[in-house]
Structure 1
Amino acid sequence: MNKTTSKFGTEKISKLLLQQAIPASIGILVMSLNMIVDTIFVGKWIGVLAIAAITVVLPIAFFISSIGMGIGVGGSSIISRALGKKQSSKAFEVFGNQISLTLGLSFLFVFGSTFFCLPILQLFGANGNIIEPATEYFHVIIWGVPFLAFAMMGNPVIRAVGKPNYAMFTLIFPAISNIILDILFIKIMNLGMFGAGLATSISYGVSGLFILWFFLSKNSELKIIPKYFIINFSILKEIVSLGGITVIRQGVISILVVILNYTLYKYGGEISIAIYGIINRVMMFALFPVLGVTQGFLPIAGYNYGANNSMRVRETIKTSIWFGTAIATLIFVLIMLFPNQLVNLFTNDKELLLLTPNALIIAFLATPVITIQLIGSAYFQAAGKATPALLLTLLKQGFFLIPLVYILPEFFGVNGVWMSFPIADILSTVVTYWFLKKEIKINLN
């Protein structure tokens, strides 16, 4: 295993970052395209209410799957540092504990969500005519969520052991299957929201089964070994302290979605929730290369931090921020130039076509500065520093965006919601820059 990952400590940082970031970016791109195509199909073949229903339901599924994502990110941080210290046996034990935690917790949440479906949907903002399609969609996709949680757990682990191409396939295969099944179930078989949910649920299964195959195959040096499934509480504590950051972040995002949906419904009705659904999809798609750089940064920084190579950690931070900022600026320019064309992809509805482009432009105004915030919070997670990682991860959504979404619409109506996004981006970037600069001066000098 050390043979596979030792390159993190020797090869040129820019080369390593490209090797890690390009597959991660492609995987995120395809996953984002999948969600965009899914929204396009649902919007054009079912209707505007269907977009609003998916906007309400998916954050619930993602919150449950974020348990796996948190366990994956927290565990992979430990695995990267363990490999940097040449502690292969610890890496195996951490991975076994990750599997037990992910499957146990995700199934527990799925069963709870099934019994309390309606109150959960209403909590997340399903109001009026949205409730019926949201319920139909939710009842189907919820059973695919444990597979999604398992995939989200395994994906960062695959990157941590130096196999970014396989991590990319984890996202590509389910995306392709979902698009094909959408056409089959929605367009050809005319199954409506049930068909949309079934396509999504099966695609989650494809992703989870691919992760299982990888760790059972000869391609992985990190294996699924049952004796390591027994919980080691010291490892559990370390995974939870770091992985809990991702879960808490997703929890805060879920709270944000609840507040957003209620605020949008209050000031703009169902059409405003549909507008946000489109903006959210564009955000996921447009920012894929920046997120890919962040994903590529984590195993390189974690390995070198574990190996006590401060110079390479500093270089990794600098190179990642430079790459990410250049890409984010290009994305910003494209969105400013072509907002109408982007919105046209999603809907034929005249009201959506009229209102969404302006909202999209406002929401993306601070895009050029976001890389500093992403890399800054990722560094503290890679280094195993749970408290600053948690605080910085929650900056945008928790400390800034939620209060702004409450306050600004009182003065600016629905536009106040869209204005909240760039203001939160700028404020969180300033705070993160201060923390990161101080950390580099004190601990990486």
Structure 2
Amino acid sequence: MSFRGSEFLGSEPVGRLLMRLSLPAMVGMFVQATYNMVDALFIGWGVGPLGLAGTAMAFPVQFLAMAFATMGGVGGSSLVSRSIGAGDRETACYAFGNLMWFAWTFGLIMAVGCHLALGQILGLMGASEDVLPHGRAYLEVIIWGFPLIMAGIGMNSTVRAQGRAKLAMATMLVSAGTNVVLDYVFIFPLGMGVRGAALATVISQGVMVVWLMVHFALSGGRMLSIGVRHLVPRWGVLRQILGVGSSEFVRLGASAVVVALVVRSLQRYGSSDAVAAFGVVNRVVALAFMPIIGVGQGLQPILGYNYGAGKMDRAIRAIKLSLLMASGLSTLAFVLMMIFPREIFSLFTPEEALIGVGERTLRTMGLGFPVVGFQVAGTGVFQAMGKGLKSFVLSLSRQVLLFIPLLLVLPPAMGLKGVWLVYPLSDLISAIITGVMLALQLRALGRIEDGKVM
């Protein structure tokens, strides 16, 4: 049984289709990054460097919440798109329903757990006495948005898996626009500081969830509709969702560990200005990442559908075009980081000393960015094909097998500069590993297309 409106994924020219789905996804992901970017802009000018450092203390917890959210979103959307390609509507509905169960359940568990362990979390970050109050004020609010962000990402990923990229983009625009307006109101007229920035983010996440629920309710069958039975956990469905999405959980979960270690290293080898600079640069790098991730999201329904339908020639072409597009975007971001680091950082603070630290930080951390697009898109290829183990290994290689050992070795030998150099070195090595695995996978797909492998 086919889904109404999804057949174009297997018939429209691949290049045009990738652009059609990737561009809205790129815009949507770019807009999503403005959550933290806007927070940083308003906090930098309305609170100051200590406020920026305080919000950086929340990064590990936020990355952990995003790890769970993205694991469900990536795994669920992969199963939905592959089921659509195979004409299996019931499995697609169970994938969506179980994804929603997972999002709300684990989102609430995380929020309550973080609330109970807030003191210990801040202690692990090694927050100094001047930064600690800002970190606590931000985290006390932001954690209650975890169920909302997990549900929102899950629903938006499902929308995108059905080829409705424009709706997914509009969702992010509405949510981010709400965040911008509320950030200004809460931080400046109401003087709520970092707490106001966190509250603005939570409310905007709620707006995203309500917006999507309305669209699902009014879709008239054009989007997945689920009954109560689809919300009951089924181990076979959850295993597929979590298995494929596990690579994203590892990537972002490892990011939580990595950021915690980086912040502690900055406290030891740098200063509160170094932590504040990291808080800004991390957001800038995340902004540069988002269009690249958008390419992967545009690829996902195309590759998932055609791989599920056995159209390997289209699958191979989609993979190659997505790698080329993602690499071009990451190279462009690299050029901007190298030429305009001072101008970029000056947007966030008037403090000259902080600008100087940020300029050096951005240039060093961005050295490996030309290969980032290839690595991220390559991981997305295996996710879209439902090859959870391979995507898991690729995510593990950069964030755990490479980054953490380098972080333990370079800073003691090189001080603060060693912290920043870990980023480009791990990017380069992980890109090499990705290249080898992709070459083998493309060769295997080619043999299937030639009829040499059944």
Q: TM-score range by the shorter chain?
A: over 0.9
Amino acid aligned to 1:278: V
The question of whether the paired residues in 2 share the 8 Å contact of 1:343 and 1:356 is answered with: yes
1:48 corresponds to 2:46: no
Structure-2 change in CA distance of 1:248 and 1:288 (3 Å):
closer
When the two chains are superposed, the root-mean-square deviation of aligned CA atoms in Å is: 1.5
Question: Counterpart in 2 of 1:380?
Answer: 382
* 1:287-318 C-alpha deviation (Å, 9 max, x unpaired): 33222212111111111111111111110111
1:191 corresponds to 2:189: no
* 1:243-297 C-alpha deviation (Å, 9 max, x unpaired): 2322232211110011101011100021111111111111122233222212111
Question: Counterpart in 2 of 1:140?
Answer: 141
The question of whether the paired residues in 2 share the 8 Å contact of 1:396 and 1:424 is answered with: yes
Structure-2 change in CA distance of 1:358 and 1:379 (3 Å):
same
* 1:205-236 C-alpha deviation (Å, 9 max, x unpaired): 11222222222221642013222111122112
Aligned pairs for 1:27-176 (under 5 A) are 27-176=28-177
Deviation at 1:50, TM superposition (A): 0.8
1:211 corresponds to 2:212: yes
Matched residue SS, 2:226: coil
Rounded Cα–Cα distance in structure 2 between residues aligned with 1:305 and 1:393: 22
Aligned pairs for 1:213-362 (under 5 A) are 213-218=214-219, 220-362=222-364
The question of whether the paired residues in 1 share the 8 Å contact of 2:292 and 2:377 is answered with: no
Amino acid aligned to 1:296: G
Rounded Cα–Cα distance in structure 2 between residues aligned with 1:224 and 1:128: 50
Rounded Cα–Cα distance in structure 1 between residues aligned with 2:88 and 2:349: 53
Rounded Cα–Cα distance in structure 1 between residues aligned with 2:305 and 2:88: 12
Question: Counterpart in 1 of 2:451?
Answer: none
Rounded Cα–Cα distance in structure 1 between residues aligned with 2:38 and 2:224: 35
The question of whether the paired residues in 1 share the 8 Å contact of 2:58 and 2:138 is answered with: yes
- From 424, 427, 430, the equivalent of 2:429 is 427
* 1:311-341 C-alpha deviation (Å, 9 max, x unpaired): 1111011111111222222222222111110
Matched residue SS, 1:2: coil
TM-score, normalised relative to structure 2: 0.95
* 1:71-116 C-alpha deviation (Å, 9 max, x unpaired): 1210111111111111111101111111111111111111111111
The question of whether the paired residues in 1 share the 8 Å contact of 2:66 and 2:252 is answered with: no
The question of whether the paired residues in 2 share the 8 Å contact of 1:34 and 1:176 is answered with: no
The question of whether the paired residues in 1 share the 8 Å contact of 2:304 and 2:385 is answered with: yes
Amino acid aligned to 1:137: Y
Rounded Cα–Cα distance in structure 1 between residues aligned with 2:340 and 2:389: 40
Rounded Cα–Cα distance in structure 1 between residues aligned with 2:178 and 2:214: 17
Q: Quick check: 89-98 or 244-253, which moved more? A: 244-253
Rounded Cα–Cα distance in structure 1 between residues aligned with 2:73 and 2:288: 24
Deviation at 1:125, TM superposition (A): 4.2
Question: Counterpart in 2 of 1:436?
Answer: 438
Amino acid aligned to 2:182: L
Amino acid aligned to 2:399: Q
Question: Counterpart in 2 of 1:200?
Answer: 201
Structure-2 change in CA distance of 1:212 and 1:65 (3 Å):
farther
Rounded Cα–Cα distance in structure 1 between residues aligned with 2:422 and 2:270: 16
Deviation at 1:165, TM superposition (A): 1.0
Matched residue SS, 1:365: helix
Amino acid aligned to 1:149: M
* 1:347-390 C-alpha deviation (Å, 9 max, x unpaired): 11121111211211111112222222112111111111111110
The question of whether the paired residues in 2 share the 8 Å contact of 1:74 and 1:239 is answered with: yes
Amino acid aligned to 2:415: G
The question of whether the paired residues in 1 share the 8 Å contact of 2:110 and 2:146 is answered with: no
Matched residue SS, 1:128: coil
Deviation at 1:188, TM superposition (A): 0.5
Report the count of equivalent residues. 445
Identity of aligned residues (%): 32
Deviation at 1:144, TM superposition (A): 1.7
Question: Counterpart in 2 of 1:398?
Answer: 400
The question of whether the paired residues in 1 share the 8 Å contact of 2:138 and 2:198 is answered with: yes
Structure-2 change in CA distance of 1:212 and 1:126 (3 Å):
farther
Rounded Cα–Cα distance in structure 2 between residues aligned with 1:20 and 1:141: 31
Deviation at 1:127, TM superposition (A): 3.4
Q: Quick check: 62-71 or 3-12, which moved more? A: 62-71
Rounded Cα–Cα distance in structure 2 between residues aligned with 1:328 and 1:67: 25
Rounded Cα–Cα distance in structure 2 between residues aligned with 1:417 and 1:55: 16
Q: Quick check: 428-437 or 396-405, which moved more? A: 396-405
Matched residue SS, 1:180: helix
Rounded Cα–Cα distance in structure 2 between residues aligned with 1:347 and 1:306: 49
Structure-2 change in CA distance of 1:333 and 1:277 (3 Å):
same
Q: Quick check: 430-439 or 102-111, which moved more? A: 102-111
Matched residue SS, 2:58: helix
Which runs of 5 or more structure 1 residues have no equivalent in the other structure?
A: none
The question of whether the paired residues in 1 share the 8 Å contact of 2:304 and 2:384 is answered with: yes
Rounded Cα–Cα distance in structure 2 between residues aligned with 1:394 and 1:236: 21
* 1:20-79 C-alpha deviation (Å, 9 max, x unpaired): 111111112222234222101101111111111111114313412432321121011111
- Extract structure 1 runs of 4+ deviating beyond 6 A: none
Rounded Cα–Cα distance in structure 1 between residues aligned with 2:248 and 2:289: 19
Which runs of 5 or more structure 2 residues have no equivalent in the other structure?
A: 448-454
TM-score, normalised relative to structure 1: 0.96
The question of whether the paired residues in 1 share the 8 Å contact of 2:247 and 2:391 is answered with: yes
